[in-house]
């Protein structure tokens, strides 16, 4: 038996304790297409599971399916650790090399997401379960030029317009291929990142990479909407898989809308590195921060009252005769009813990349949003924000990318096979 066989068996042995501890199956919405299994073993790992191995905790044992109608990592609940990485195909690499690469990546992602170690494993996550690991793949506009597939490039990849608030670094923007990695354990996420990078081999090289985080699973007494580094509840107005129009807004339909068939069940990801000017923001008094956002900082409720999920009362006036939610408040300008119903599924990570020589933190939001058509989702909202959002004075858009993320692969398929082998 080889060392890699031993590594795979060790991770399988740990995953085998899930059955011994008792498991529950959950489905993330009808639109999610991702099955999740969680081992309810509790916190005590002293007892031995199958073969004498300690039982995994619930967080470690949770897994997400690789195959499905949609790729994992879109409707999957926010994970505590994330890596975003873009690759450019190497000089001379084309469609054949791209297909081989996506085949390798798919094999590796499927193994890691189920808790198995790939061949020639580093052993970084040897003693961990899958920890809700997801690996999501997308194609940038230039990918189609490099592979001779320009006739199959979707209109949804038309370049995003320039915005006045942009200060974009082209070295950290766009790319031929994009990979999103998320997990509820930092080592599991890094392990997947390292495996993806190694699998790229001579076919592709890293263009840029960004690391992010969210609150850890189980850190709060009950599930809560995430907070960003400004301390604001972020994601309250997200569309929900239970909404009747969720699929229409987020996923590309099959056989309709002029989209190529290989994108059926897929989505478009807009990725933006948004630097937060935290020193300036933190100088604002609480009431001014709340007016900039249009929501209470304590619980995310609208300034017009209620709870986090209460609808904004955009017409409500205060005793002074002024709008309670200011006309330039971020929540007002970005509300779907203010943008012709435009909506997107925001699924970000926070980032912190150190402190500058002047003491300024390089920190903010790795903004990732999903929609069936970015020209109807992200673009109209960002245009309106660009014209008068009070939050604009405290943020800077430093990098940007747009990627076509195909639907999930069926059993026996690799991601993008319907594009690359048609």
Highest mean pLDDT among 218-232, 247-261, 364-378: 364-378
The single residue of 199, 234, 247, 389 carrying the catalytic annotation is: 234
pLDDT band at 4 (very low <50, low <70, confident <90, very high): very low
The rounded distance, in Å, linking the Cα atoms of 370 and 377 is 8
Average pLDDT of span 189-216: 97
pLDDT tens readout for residues 81-107: 999 999 999 999 999 999 999 999 999
Residues 102, 417 contacting (CB under 8 angstroms): yes
Output 420 or 1, whichever has higher pLDDT. Answer: 420
User: Phi and psi of 180, rounded to 5°?
Assistant: -110, 125
Provide the mean pLDDT of the chain: 88
Pair type for strands 177-183 and 134-139? antiparallel
- Whether the Cβ atoms of residue 361 and residue 351 lie closer than 8 Å to each other: no
Q: Is pLDDT above 50 for 344?
A: yes
Q: Are 94 and 203 in contact (CB under 8 A)?
A: no
User: pLDDT at residue 47 above 70?
Assistant: no
pLDDT score at 204: 98
Q: Is 386 a catalytic residue?
A: no
Distance of CA 408 to the CA centre of its chain: 15
Q: Write down the pLDDT at residue 55.
A: 62
Q: How confident is the model at residue 49 (pLDDT cuts 50, 70, 90)?
A: very low
- Measured distance CA(14)–CA(355) in Å, rounded: 39
- The answer, yes or no, to whether residue 372 has pLDDT greater than 90, is yes
pTM equals 0.88
For residue 190, the surrounding DSSP H or E stretch is helix 186-200
pLDDT greater than 90 at residue 174: yes
Please name the residues in contact with 292: beta carbons below 8 A apart, sequence gap of 6 or more: 284, 329, 330, 390, 391, 394
Rg (alpha carbons) of the chain, rounded to whole number: 22
Q: Is the pLDDT of residue 362 over 80?
A: yes
Give residue-wise pLDDT tens across range 244-261: 999 999 999 987 667 899
Could you tell me if 56 and 129 are in contact, meaning their C-beta atoms sit under 8 angstroms apart?
yes
- Is 224's pLDDT higher than 60? yes
Closest CA to 416 of 235, 215, 266, 309: 266
pLDDT at 43 over 60: no
Average pLDDT over residues 108-125: 91
For residue 33, what pLDDT is reported?
36
Q: Which helix (H) or strand (E) holds 181?
A: strand 177-183
Task: Give the pLDDT of residue 2.
Answer: 47
């Amino acid at each position: 038996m080889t060392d890699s066989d031993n590594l795979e068996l060790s991770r399988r042995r740990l995953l085998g304790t899930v059955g011994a501890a008792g498991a529950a199956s959950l489905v993330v919405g009808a639109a999610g297409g991702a099955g999740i299994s969680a081992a309810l073993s509790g916190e005590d790992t002293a007892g031995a599971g199958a073969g004498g191995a300690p039982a995994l905790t619930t967080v470690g044992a949770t897994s997400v399916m690789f195959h499905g109608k949609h790729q994992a990592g879109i409707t999957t609940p926010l994970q505590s650790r994330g890596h975003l990485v873009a690759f450019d195909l190497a000089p001379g690499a084309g469609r054949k090399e791209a297909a081989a690469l996506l085949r390798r990546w798919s094999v590796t992602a499927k193994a890691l997401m189920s808790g198995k170690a790939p061949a020639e494993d580093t052993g970084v996550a040897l003693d961990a379960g899958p920890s809700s690991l997801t690996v999501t793949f997308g194609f940038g506009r230039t990918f189609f030029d490099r592979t001779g597939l320009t006739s199959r490039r979707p209109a949804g990849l038309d370049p995003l317009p320039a915005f006045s608030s942009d200060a974009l670094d082209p070295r950290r923007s766009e790319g031929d291929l994009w990979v999103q990695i998320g997990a509820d354990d930092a080592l599991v996420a890094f392990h997947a990142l390292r495996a993806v990078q190694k699998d790229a081999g001579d076919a592709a090289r890293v263009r840029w990479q960004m690391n992010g985080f969210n609150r850890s699973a189980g850190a709060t007494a009950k599930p809560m909407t995430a907070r960003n580094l400004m301390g604001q509840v972020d994601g309250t107005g997200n569309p929900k898989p239970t909404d009747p129009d969720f699929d229409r807004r987020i996923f590309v339909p099959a056989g309709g809308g002029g989209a190529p068939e290989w994108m059926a069940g897929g989505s478009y990801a807009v990725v933006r590195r948004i630097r937060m000017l935290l020193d300036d923001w933190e100088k604002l008094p609480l009431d001014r921060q709340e007016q900039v956002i249009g929501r209470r900082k304590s619980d995310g409720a609208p300034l017009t009252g209620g709870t986090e999920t209460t609808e904004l009362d955009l017409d409500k006036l205060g005793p002074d005769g002024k709008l309670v939610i200011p006309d330039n408040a971020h929540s007002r300008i970005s509300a779907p009813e203010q943008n012709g119903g435009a909506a997107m599924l925001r699924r970000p990570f926070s980032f912190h990349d150190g402190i500058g020589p002047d003491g300024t933190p390089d920190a903010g939001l790795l903004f990732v949003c999903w929609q069936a058509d970015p020209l109807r989702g992200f673009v109209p909202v960002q245009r309106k924000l660009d014209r008068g959002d009070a939050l604009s004075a405290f943020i800077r858009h430093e990098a940007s990318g747009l990627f076509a993320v195909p639907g999930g692969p069926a059993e026996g398929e690799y991601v993008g096979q319907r594009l690359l082998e048609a």
